[in-house]
Amino acid sequence: MSAHPDQAPLPVDTSSPAPGQDPVLQIRDLSVVYRTPGGDVRAVDRVNLDLAPGEVIGLAGESGSGKSTLVYGACRLLRAPALITSGSVRYSGRRVTKPVDVLRLSRDELQHLRWREIAIVFQSAMNALNPVLNVRDQLLDVIHAHLRMPRDQARERAASLLDLVGIPRARLRSYPHELSGGMRQRVMIAMALATEPEVVIMDEPTTALDVVVQRDILAQIVELKEQLGFSILFITHDLSLLLELADRIAVMYAGQLLEIATAEEIHHEASHPYTKGLLNSFPSLRGPRRELAGIPGSPPDLRSPPPGCPFLPRCRYGTAACEQVDMQLMPVATSKDPEHVTACPFVLPGTPVPPDAKPQPEAAAEPEAAAEPEATGEPEATAEPEATGEPGA
């Protein structure tokens, strides 16, 4: 792998996300709606999320869950009909003198923040790169827009960025169509890192790639993170990937966060039924074959969200009490992770457990517990007549 020749790693301790450290990005009470003729679509609903320096947070959820809207909202990349209705996004990087609220920045201030402090690797590298510019010109574009640098120094920087992501310098003159999918994604990563941002948002960066390339790129991302010390907010619907990659995982459903915990906790002690369902949705390659269940049904229509827990119609533990649940993230007392929070009160100790619905902390490990007959062959929740209002995720 390439060591960056002329860029000293930033002097920061990235060994582990130290608890208690001030978060570099602090999202508080963020709500986003899409204004549509049919009413407001509540795409993100009062979300709180902290990103510590050097930390990798995985944001998991299915399409339409609002995960992209959440982070694009936090970076103010959304435009009408999307509207941020409440919240604050506090950014406090090493280079800014005092914390700023991203949602209250002026246009110019925003210009300084974007890319320099918070960069994004977009989902489809095929569409995110400009097809009529070669790689070097696209890299130079970023460098000139965000850094003051003489021309030849900028060119050298562009070349060294390719070194950084393991692409031969000869590719500087290549156009996107001449690169493989994996290389294009690496170029996207190089572009995001061009300005040494402190927060890198990755929106399904490997979804379109096959597994071998995906693994190479993820390994590269992890290595670069070690080397440069940025934080990552990683969006994906592939929870199995996050279990390996992320420090902490936030599970999103219908615009709300349902559970946040470390990857280990999510893997072994997931508390929310939706998280458990996700965990039981992907076939495992190794170990004994276990019965897989998936999650029957589809997400609620966010134009008129149901009262209480949005997962209720698909939840096999659901009871009438769930319609009155106040969707608050509360600590899971039995958890080893003090910051493990969940939105399902019925999995907390001391609260009445709905009849014949014992919480199964080890659902993944117990095939017979996971193999509920109703789950596999069930019709898709008699498929709601209304199309599910999917806010463009």
Least CB distance to another protein at residue 217 (A)? 8
Question: How far is the C-alpha of 289 from the C-alpha of 211, rounded, in Å?
Answer: 21
Q: Does 241 bind another protein (CB under 8 A)?
A: yes
Looking at this protein, which amino acid is placed at residue 97? T
250 binds another protein (CB under 8 A): no
CA distance 365 to 347: 18
E strands present in 73-176: 82-91, 100-101, 118-121
Distance CA 363, CA 279 (A): 9
> What phi, psi does 392 have (nearest 5°)?
-45, 100
CA 140 to chain centroid: 28
- With CB under 8 A as the contact rule, the residue among 80, 132, 170, 285 that binds another protein is 285
Q: Which stretch binds another protein (CB under 8 A): 41-49, 76-84, 240-248, 348-356?
A: 240-248
Please select the residue that binds another protein; options are 282, 304, 333, 362, rule is CB under 8 A.
Answer: 282
What is the smallest separation between the CB atom of 171 and another protein, expressed in angstroms?
11
Extract the tokens encoding 94: 């090493």
Instruction: Scan residues 28-57 and list those touching another protein (CB under 8 A).
Output: 56
Choosing from 154, 201, 278, 327, the residue that interacts with another protein (CB under 8 A) is 278
Which helix (H) or strand (E) element contains residue 251?
strand 248-253
Instruction: For residue 264, state whether it binds another protein (rule: CB under 8 A).
Output: yes
Residue 187 near residue 205, CB atoms below 8 Å: no
Binding of residue 245 to another protein (CB under 8 A): yes
C-beta closer to another protein: residue 304 or 328: 304
Q: How many CB atoms lie within 10 A of CB 215?
A: 14
If the CB atoms of residues 151 and 169 are measured against another protein, the closer one turns out to be 169
Stretch of 18-26, 170-178, 181-189, 329-337 contacting another protein, by CB under 8 A: 181-189
Check binding of 379 to another protein (CB under 8 A). Answer: yes
Residue in the block written with tokens 């709180």? 48
Determine the Cα–Cα distance for residues 294 and 280; give it in Å rounded to an integer: 6
Chosen residue from 36, 127, 180, 328 binding another protein by CB under 8 A:
180
Measured between its terminal Cα atoms, the distance across the chain in Å is 34
**Whose Cβ is closer to another protein: residue 13's or residue 101's?**
13
Tokens of 314: 């698909």
Over the window 288 to 327, marking each residue x when it contacts another protein by CB under 8 A and - when it does not, the resulting string is -x--xxxxx-x-----------------------------
| Tokens (6 digits) for 327 | 């969707």
Q: Would you count residue 181 as binding another protein (CB under 8 A)? A: yes
**Residue 73's CB: how many other CB atoms inside 10 A?**
26
Contact positions vs another protein (CB under 8 A): 1-2, 15, 56, 62-63, 165-166, 168, 180-183, 209-216, 218-220, 222-223, 225-226, 237-241, 243-245, 247, 263-264, 267, 277-278, 281-287, 289, 292-296, 298, 376-377, 379-380, 382-383, 385, 387-388, 390
